[in-house]
Amino acid sequence: MDSKSCSNDVDVETKEMDTRSLPASRRGLMHLHKVGTPPKQNLLREFTARVNETFFADDPLRPFKDQPRSRKLVLGIQAIFPIFEWGRSYNWKKFRGDLIAGLTIASLCIPQDIGYAKLANLDPQYGLYSSFVPPLIYAFMGSSRDIAIGPVAVVSLLLGSMLSKEIDPNLNKAEYRRLAFTATFFAGITQATLGFLRLGFLIDFLSHAAIIGFMAGAAITIALQQLKGLLGIKNFTKETDIISVMHSVWGNVHHGWNWQTILIGVSFLSFLLVAKYIVKDIEKGINPSSVYQIYFRGEYLLKGLKIGIVAGMIALTEAVAIGRTFASMKDYQIDGNKEMVALGAMNVVGSMTSCYVATGSFSRSAVNFMAGCETAVSNVIMSCVVFLTLEFITPLFKYTPNAILAAIIISAVAGLIDIPAAILVWKIDKFDFVACLGAFLGVVFKSVEIGLLIAVTISFAKILLQVTRPRTAILGKVPMTNVYRNILQYPEAAKVPGILIVRVDSAIYFSNSNYVKERILRWLMDEEERVKAACQPMIQFLIVEMSPVTDIDTSGIHALEELHRSLEKKNIQLILTNPGPVVMDKLEASRFANLIGEDKIFLTVADAVSSCSPKQADEV
């Protein structure tokens, strides 16, 4: 037998050495700490805990605990309308900050709104309407102090591109607008529902990297659309992809091939010429009601619903990302789900008052932050300025040249192209970069929807890949310590002769159970070949380090059983170390712990290794 040669080579801790002379059973009891099995939980309690962790991870009811009923009512009102919470400590100093910030963003927002409304193929006043009502609602219900509300470029572009696929905005202006309100209504419903059902985590499925790519692509697409205004082109394509747009631009240059000079010339010329094409009339007066314009039946109901869901999700993603960024800068918490309810309510009300989808605007929020805003009151100030504009001075905007609007929009969206962030993504994770690039190219070369689809698909593919092909590692003993680590990361870590230690780096589920089993057997085969070639002792023990295995399901247990059966045929003992509470529970429920023997489950790899070696010694 090889076990003879084994016992001499095995690397045993000095601490364990002196226990060797004891009988195996007593020795086990002395220095090995038993793996804990958590107390059996009530099924209902277990289920409740899981649901709580999924939907109420932020423990929203914590402040309500142990409070008298009247206090609970106050807290409840404050939870829905945070203004009653922070409003109590509002003072003049804060108001000064908010006033300055509010006036600053108002000056930015008016030309932006006019431009964005054009991206959405709506008349300019609808952009202004959307900067009047929604910020007011948000000020009462929102929990972010820095976000500035209004229409945003990406959502306007997305909405414009999706709506005009259903109805031609030039031929059926009124119907197009009705569909826009319908989509806005359902965008609001989607947002509020997600928040109310505490499904806010769904937007986490759009990865950060994909958003970087998507935003950069959208920015370029929006900038390209401005070529129409900037160059004064009349027959412009309705598509948004770079090829169609460039075709439109080229098609308007009826000259030879020396396009550089032509482009520069045309740009300058058009810049001057185009100043003549001015924005058409902006209707005077504040938002008219649009309740009866929303389609609540007919074929456009479903179309509006579909567009609303997509636009609502994208708007959410942007608002939540902005809210989180500024909250972490000033170190306060925003409640994602509550925030969604606020954004949803504001869009539902907006859809009834002639607004289209509004959300947190990145450029506007950044300016708001820089100008020293203190609370959501800056939104109220902006809203008031927009109100005055609508009531009194809209006629002045008649004279805003298209070229200037285009320049303002381009400078606003330029901030969405974040090249350093893309470089960082490349450095950290290549797969993330593929998602980023895919979303970018999809938006630029095809359409906003395709870019979005690519981003979501790649994000999901990444999750699935992670789940199907978990990592495994061979562990060795780090010299001078009692710890066992990945030998690829710690080349100085030494394998223990006669024992193969494999760590599985993921929960074992149906999606990977078969792979995990086969991967472990392949590690074993490789090791047996190596050992044979090197004339070292044969493998007698396979230790599976289960620390990272946080859960296991029926398929996982089956895979372990099959592994055990295969090992038995080879006369190799299967040993598990450090299964977590859930895994231990399931190993017992399925009687697998009995099958391999309770004494084959150890607290640490070191314990397991030391239990192997003396046994070999005993057998000799």
- Which among 164, 158, 156, 152 has a CA at the least distance from the CA of 237? 164
Stretch that binds its own copies, among 34-42, 131-139, 244-252, 412-420 (CB under 8 A): 34-42
244 vs 555, which CB is nearer to its own copies? 555
Stretch that binds its own copies, among 96-104, 257-265, 279-287, 487-495 (CB under 8 A): 487-495
355 vs 557, which CB is nearer to its own copies? 557
Q: Which of 29, 174, 419, 480 binds its own copies (CB under 8 A)?
A: 480
Q: Which of 470, 476, 497, 498 binds its own copies (CB under 8 A)?
A: 470
Q: Which residues lie below 8 Å from residue 272, measured CB to CB, with a gap of 6+?
A: none
Work out how close the CB of 375 gets to its own copies at its nearest, in angstroms, rounded to a whole number: 20
103 vs 417, which CB is nearer to its own copies? 417
Stretch that binds its own copies, among 17-25, 175-183, 345-353, 428-436 (CB under 8 A): 428-436
Contact flag: residue 457 with its own copies (CB under 8 A): no
3-state SS assignment for residue 216: helix
Stretch that binds its own copies, among 68-76, 111-119, 203-211, 362-370 (CB under 8 A): 203-211
Work out how close the CB of 43 gets to its own copies at its nearest, in angstroms, rounded to a whole number: 7
267 vs 466, which CB is nearer to its own copies? 466
139 vs 557, which CB is nearer to its own copies? 557
Work out how close the CB of 195 gets to its own copies at its nearest, in angstroms, rounded to a whole number: 15
- The 3-state secondary structure of 28-41 reads HHHHCCCCCCCCCC
Helices (H), 415-484: 419-428, 430-445, 448-468
Residue type (1 letter), 91: N
Residue type (1 letter), 25: S
* Bridge partners, residue 544, by sequence: 502, 576
Work out how close the CB of 590 gets to its own copies at its nearest, in angstroms, rounded to a whole number: 5
Stretch that binds its own copies, among 124-132, 136-144, 365-373, 459-467 (CB under 8 A): 459-467
Contact flag: residue 3 with its own copies (CB under 8 A): no
Q: Which residues lie below 8 Å from residue 382, measured CB to CB, with a gap of 6+?
A: 102, 103, 105, 106, 109, 131, 135, 148, 150
Q: What is the distance, to the nearest Å, from the Cα of residue 320 to the centroid of all Cα atoms in its chain?
A: 10
Contact flag: residue 38 with its own copies (CB under 8 A): yes
136 vs 456, which CB is nearer to its own copies? 456
Work out how close the CB of 436 gets to its own copies at its nearest, in angstroms, rounded to a whole number: 9
Contact 568/525 with Cβ under 8 angstroms?
no
Contact flag: residue 466 with its own copies (CB under 8 A): yes
Q: Which of 2, 13, 168, 429 binds its own copies (CB under 8 A)?
A: 429
Q: Which of residues 183-202 bind its own copies (CB under 8 A)?
A: 201
- Which among 176, 132, 87, 601 has a CA at the least distance from the CA of 382? 132
Length of the chain equals 620
Work out how close the CB of 545 gets to its own copies at its nearest, in angstroms, rounded to a whole number: 10
**Residue 538 phi, psi (nearest 5):** -65, 155
59 vs 281, which CB is nearer to its own copies? 59
Contact flag: residue 424 with its own copies (CB under 8 A): yes
- 334: region left, alpha or beta (phi > 0 left; psi from -120 to 50 alpha): beta
DSSP 494: B
Work out how close the CB of 518 gets to its own copies at its nearest, in angstroms, rounded to a whole number: 6
Interatomic CA distance for residues 398 and 409, integer angstroms: 17
Work out how close the CB of 179 gets to its own copies at its nearest, in angstroms, rounded to a whole number: 30
Size, binding site for its own copies by CB under 8 A: 90
Q: Which of 16, 146, 241, 432 binds its own copies (CB under 8 A)?
A: 432
Q: Which of residues 244-303 bind its own copies (CB under 8 A)?
A: none
469-489 core/surface letters (b: 16 or more CB in 10 A; e: else): ebebbbbbbeeeebebbbbee
Contact flag: residue 469 with its own copies (CB under 8 A): yes
How, if at all, do strands 541-545 and 499-504 pair? parallel
CA dihedral 442, 445, 447, 450 (to 10 degrees): -30
Interatomic CA distance for residues 369 and 69, integer angstroms: 38
Q: Which of residues 356-385 bind its own copies (CB under 8 A)?
A: none
Interatomic CA distance for residues 414 and 222, integer angstroms: 10
178 vs 564, which CB is nearer to its own copies? 564
Work out how close the CB of 283 gets to its own copies at its nearest, in angstroms, rounded to a whole number: 42
137 vs 557, which CB is nearer to its own copies? 557
- Which among 170, 166, 127 has a CA at the least distance from the CA of 150? 127
**Residue 472 phi, psi (nearest 5):** -130, 155
3-state SS assignment for residue 185: helix
- The position carrying tokens 């179309």 is 303
3-state SS assignment for residue 540: coil
- Which among 229, 251, 232 has a CA at the least distance from the CA of 119? 229
Q: Which of residues 499-538 bind its own copies (CB under 8 A)?
A: 505-507, 509-515, 518-519, 522
Q: Which of 73, 197, 464, 620 binds its own copies (CB under 8 A)?
A: 464
Q: Which of residues 297-336 bind its own copies (CB under 8 A)?
A: 324, 328, 331, 336
Q: Which of 152, 162, 163, 209 binds its own copies (CB under 8 A)?
A: 209
Q: Which of 118, 198, 485, 600 binds its own copies (CB under 8 A)?
A: 485
- Which among 277, 287, 279 has a CA at the least distance from the CA of 396? 279
Q: Which of residues 577-596 bind its own copies (CB under 8 A)?
A: 578, 580-582, 584, 586, 589-590
